Amino acid sequence: MIKIESQNIKLRSLEPDDLTYFMRVENDSTLWNVCDTRVPFSRHTLQRILDASVADIYAEKQLRLVVCTGDDDHAVGFVDLYDFSPLHRRCGVGVIIYPATEREKGYAKEALRLAIKYAVEAYDLHQVWADVAVDNISSLKLFESLGMKISHVKKDWIKDKKGYKDVCVFHIFDSDIDW
């Protein structure tokens, strides 16, 4: 099991006991704007995903880690490493802190810092990137606070009820990580 810790949080692999939390996050339609999900997942489907989950980024090209607080292993979110390319030494990163009452406590920043540092060191990455919608002000500030820079903007990238919106692509290089 992968476990990465700081003073306030830890990141760990998905466990069978995470099913109920996993269902709450994946089936919250207010979060679907950042992915292609438009239909709720059944308990059975998510159980199969959990059962098939392998903490091997080389096999899956992605890795989901649970963000936990304190010694009680209380889940407050997920951090995902995705689109992993060992050849080009890069991957994407995303974070969700859930429920909303757990936000604004520094968990996302600490989780991203731990995950990015882990990914760069464990997988010899050169670059980590993230997509952030231009209207997601708190996430824009979050990624900027980590020293990530906007490399470009994807125009009309995400469709929502109001139309299309742009997405900023952030990146950080291994040589820029000094935390």
Tens digit of pLDDT for each residue in 83-108?
999 999 999 999 999 999 999 999 99
For residues 108 and 135, give the distance between their C-alpha atoms in angstroms, rounded to a whole number: 18
Element (H, E) at 12: strand 9-13
DSSP strand pairing (63-69 vs 90-97): unpaired
Domains of the chain: 3-176 (3.40.630.30)
pLDDT of 2 over the 70 cut: no
pLDDT of 77 over the 90 cut: yes
Between 145 and 31, residue with greater pLDDT? 145
The secondary structure of 142-157 as a DSSP string is HHHHTT-EEEEEEEEE
Tens digit of pLDDT for each residue in 11-60?
999 888 888 888 899 888 878 776 766 778 887 888 887 777 777 888 88
* Mean pLDDT of the 109-135 span: 97
pLDDT band at 1 (very low <50, low <70, confident <90, very high): low
The DSSP output letter for 29 is: G
pLDDT band at 132 (very low <50, low <70, confident <90, very high): very high
For residues 157 and 163, give the distance between their C-alpha atoms in angstroms, rounded to a whole number: 10
Between 15 and 109, residue with greater pLDDT? 109
pTM: 0.91
pLDDT > 90 in the chain, percent: 65
